[in-house]
């Protein structure tokens, strides 16, 4: 197992990568040692992808150094990194399905005879190589004949055969089932014992503790710390990832739940779930109350919203709205019931960047009315101006393209879009992500305001203190299944972190 003085293979120091307006990576160190599996952890936007891209040469660094076995490298493409001994395998299989397995293994370095590719030898050697990785398959068959799990092992075999120093695995287990994960782990352990340095990116904490020797945690582009896995309690790890000391007092004031009247139950999810998406969860959404959802990236928190809004159709459990069972087949069904949904990624799923603020705001209401009952231009202006004033969206006028607004104002415009439809239930996924701290408080105040006016809110957030401050109930998700429901006085940031960090056996982390 890992001893602290294993030979250092890769030493990255002070890595920095700048995007317009934001530092994706800010002076991050990473030390990889031979014969160790190193977990690279962090929430969305922590800088994991950027760090991997710098190591594999997919992007150039703006500052810092990377040395491999003491020699500085500056890869400008996958070729350069591979020559230096660093190869990566991604969750999405980046092999070529139109080629044979052997062609994939030896692309660009095929064995030749008289200047021609020696196919028989390539297939033979490919088969032998794969047998060393526990795969007994005919390497001359097309790659597309094999399952994702097998293709992944083939990708690993190729990467290790290419450069036997450092293997980076970016969320390799995300699309594998339990047995396939075990096969992969067995292989990775044997590669480690052969002296390979392995980087393992995942958001499954159980897998981190089952497999890795050392952990590096990133948050918001900065290094939080590097620890030995055996010495890092789960609770502390989660706290590192979320940036909250588990015992810290919340600076946000929390209104006692008893001060507010309990609203009427509006929507009840009874054992709602979908295979391979999220395990059955219960939730009750009441008018004038906030249900918070907490959990790490990939815990299934977003997926609960997808089921509640009909983006994905549940295949088990029951959704009860106004006391009547309903089935949501599409977001249209949900909108008809008076639901609204502000998704996590504004740029991807939310704003229509090229359209004006006004057009973005009226979009959902227009869709709800049907396209043949067009809102008049005057109505649109009235609506847009009202919400710009109401939500204090900072813009000179409603005709400005929404992409020119700051993140916080974009988020408010999205809120306005759904508020215009007068929803009874509003689902918000990470409403405060990527906006500055001052705007956080404004959004939170807005949510509290909506709640007080009788709207039911379902708010998914990784800002644990905020969730703890405004929620009447908190649904904690872990490994794509519910891990607990906190109510009333039990809702504290520490309790939430504890519930997130608990392992499969229900024990709180020590």
Q: Nearest-CA neighbor of 297 among 45, 50, 47?
A: 45
Q: Which of 84, 143, 290, 460 binds other proteins (CB under 8 A)?
A: 143
Residues 6+ apart with CB under 8 A from 150: 135, 137
Six token digits for residue 114: 């008289």
Instruction: Give the phi and the psi of residue 203 in degrees, each rounded to 5.
Output: -120, 15
Beta strands in 275-315 (DSSP E): 278-286, 290-294
Q: Which span sits near other proteins by CB under 8 A: 261-269, 298-306, 350-358, 412-420?
A: 298-306
Nearer to other proteins, 115 or 506 (CB): 115
Nearer to other proteins, 77 or 325 (CB): 77
Q: Which of 1, 7, 98, 120 binds other proteins (CB under 8 A)?
A: 98
* Centroid of chain to Cα 505: 24
303 binds other proteins per the rule CB under 8 A: yes
Q: Which span sits near other proteins by CB under 8 A: 128-136, 302-310, 393-401, 462-470?
A: 302-310
Residues in 43-72 that interact with other proteins by CB under 8 A: 44-47, 49-50, 53, 58-59
- Asked whether the beta carbons of 420 and 385 are under 8 A apart, the reply is no
Residues in 185-214 that interact with other proteins by CB under 8 A: 203
Q: Which of 69, 110, 226, 448 binds other proteins (CB under 8 A)?
A: 110
Q: Which of 6, 229, 287, 302 binds other proteins (CB under 8 A)?
A: 302
Minimum CB separation of residue 409 from other proteins in Å reads: 17
349 binds other proteins per the rule CB under 8 A: yes
Q: Which of 4, 70, 108, 370 binds other proteins (CB under 8 A)?
A: 108
Q: Which span sits near other proteins by CB under 8 A: 242-250, 342-350, 353-361, 440-448?
A: 342-350
Q: Which of 4, 5, 21, 261 binds other proteins (CB under 8 A)?
A: 21
Minimum CB separation of residue 5 from other proteins in Å reads: 33
Q: Which of 16, 220, 313, 406 binds other proteins (CB under 8 A)?
A: 220
Rounded to 10°, the helix 234-242/493-501 angle is: 120
* Centroid of chain to Cα 326: 29
Instruction: Give the phi and the psi of residue 354 in degrees, each rounded to 5.
Output: -80, -20
For CA atoms 488, 494, 500, 501, give the dihedral sign.
negative
Give the distance between the most distant pair of CA atoms in the chain: 85
Q: Which of 5, 70, 116, 231 binds other proteins (CB under 8 A)?
A: 116
Q: Nearest-CA neighbor of 55 among 76, 34, 26?
A: 76
Percent helix / strand / coil, the chain, rounded to 5 = 35, 25, 35
Q: Which of 221, 279, 350, 482 binds other proteins (CB under 8 A)?
A: 221
Cα–Cα distances in angstroms (integers) from residue 172 to residues 89, 92, 199, 241, in the given order:
7, 8, 11, 20
- Asked whether the beta carbons of 489 and 254 are under 8 A apart, the reply is no
The position carrying tokens 């008076």 is 338
- Asked whether the beta carbons of 502 and 470 are under 8 A apart, the reply is no
Nearer to other proteins, 35 or 126 (CB): 126
Six token digits for residue 448: 């509290």
Nearer to other proteins, 417 or 480 (CB): 480
Q: Which of 96, 120, 210, 441 binds other proteins (CB under 8 A)?
A: 96
Residues in 234-263 that interact with other proteins by CB under 8 A: none
Q: Which of 165, 192, 478, 480 binds other proteins (CB under 8 A)?
A: 480
Minimum CB separation of residue 455 from other proteins in Å reads: 26
Residues in 147-186 that interact with other proteins by CB under 8 A: 147-148, 150-151, 158, 162, 170-171, 174-175
Q: How is residue 250 annotated by DSSP?
A: P
Minimum CB separation of residue 98 from other proteins in Å reads: 4
**Binding-residue total with other proteins (CB under 8 A):** 71
Minimum CB separation of residue 263 from other proteins in Å reads: 30
Nearer to other proteins, 145 or 452 (CB): 145
Instruction: Give the phi and the psi of residue 15 in degrees, each rounded to 5.
Output: -65, 130
Instruction: Provide the mask over 270-289, with x wherever binding to other proteins is found by CB under 8 A and - wherever it is not.
Output: ------xxx-----------
Alpha-carbon distance 45 to 154, whole Å? Answer: 30
Torsion of CA 230, 232, 235, 240, to 10 degrees: -140
Minimum CB separation of residue 302 from other proteins in Å reads: 7
């Amino acid at each position: 197992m890992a001893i602290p003085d294993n030979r250092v293979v890769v030493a990255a120091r002070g890595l920095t990568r700048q995007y317009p307006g934001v530092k994706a990576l800010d002076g991050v160190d990473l030390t990889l040692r031979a014969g160790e599996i190193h977990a690279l952890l962090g929430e969305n936007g922590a800088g994991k992808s950027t760090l991997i891209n710098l190591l594999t040469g997919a992007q150039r660094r703006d500052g810092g150094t990377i040395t491999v076995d003491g020699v500085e490298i500056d890869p400008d493409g996958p070729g350069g990194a591979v020559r230096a001994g660093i190869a990566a395998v991604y969750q999405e299989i980046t092999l070529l399905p139109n080629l044979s397995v052997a062609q994939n293994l030896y692309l660009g370095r095929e064995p030749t005879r008289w200047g021609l590719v020696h196919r028989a030898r390539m297939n033979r050697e490919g088969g032998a190589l794969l047998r060393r990785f526990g795969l007994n398959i005919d390497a001359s068959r097309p790659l597309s004949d094999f399952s994702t799990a097998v293709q992944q092992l083939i990708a690993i075999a190729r990467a290790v055969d290419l450069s036997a120093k450092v293997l980076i695995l970016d969320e390799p287990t995300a699309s594998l089932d339990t047995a396939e994960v075990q096969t992969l782990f067995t292989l990775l352990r044997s590669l480690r014992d052969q002296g390979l340095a392995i980087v393992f990116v995942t958001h499954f904490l159980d897998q981190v503790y089952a497999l890795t020797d050392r952990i590096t945690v990133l948050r918001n582009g900065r290094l939080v710390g590097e620890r030995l896995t055996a010495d890092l309690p789960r609770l502390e790890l989660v706290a590192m990832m979320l940036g909250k000391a588990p015992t810290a007092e919340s600076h946000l004031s929390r209104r006692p739940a008893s001060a507010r009247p309990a609203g009427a139950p509006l929507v009840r999810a009874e054992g709602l779930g979908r295979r391979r998406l999220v395990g059955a969860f219960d939730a009750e959404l009441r008018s004038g109350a906030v249900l918070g959802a907490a959990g790490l990236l990939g815990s299934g928190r977003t997926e609960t919203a997808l089921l509640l809004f009909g983006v994905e159709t549940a295949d088990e459990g029951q959704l009860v709205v106004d006391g009547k069972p309903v089935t949501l087949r599409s977001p249209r069904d949900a909108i008809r019931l008076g639901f609204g949904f502000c998704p996590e990624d504004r740029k991807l799923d939310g704003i229509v960047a090229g359209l004006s603020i006004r057009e973005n705001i009226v979009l959902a209401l227009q869709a709800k009315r049907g396209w043949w009952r067009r809102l008049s231009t005057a109505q649109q202006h009235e609506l847009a101006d009202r919400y710009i004033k109401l939500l204090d969206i900072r813009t000179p006028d409603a005709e400005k393209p929404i992409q020119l607004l700051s993140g916080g104002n974009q988020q408010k415009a999205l809120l306005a879009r759904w508020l215009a439809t007068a929803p009874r239930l509003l689902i918000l996924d990470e409403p405060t992500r990527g906006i500055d701290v001052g705007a956080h408080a404004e959004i939170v105040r807005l949510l509290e305001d909506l709640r007080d006016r009788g709207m039911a809110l379902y708010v998914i957030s990784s800002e644990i203190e905020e969730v703890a401050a405004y929620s009447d109930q908190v649904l904690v998700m872990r490994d794509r299944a519910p891990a607990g429901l906190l109510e009333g006085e039990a809702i504290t940031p520490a309790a939430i972190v504890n519930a997130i960090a608990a392992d499969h056996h229900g024990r709180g982390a020590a």
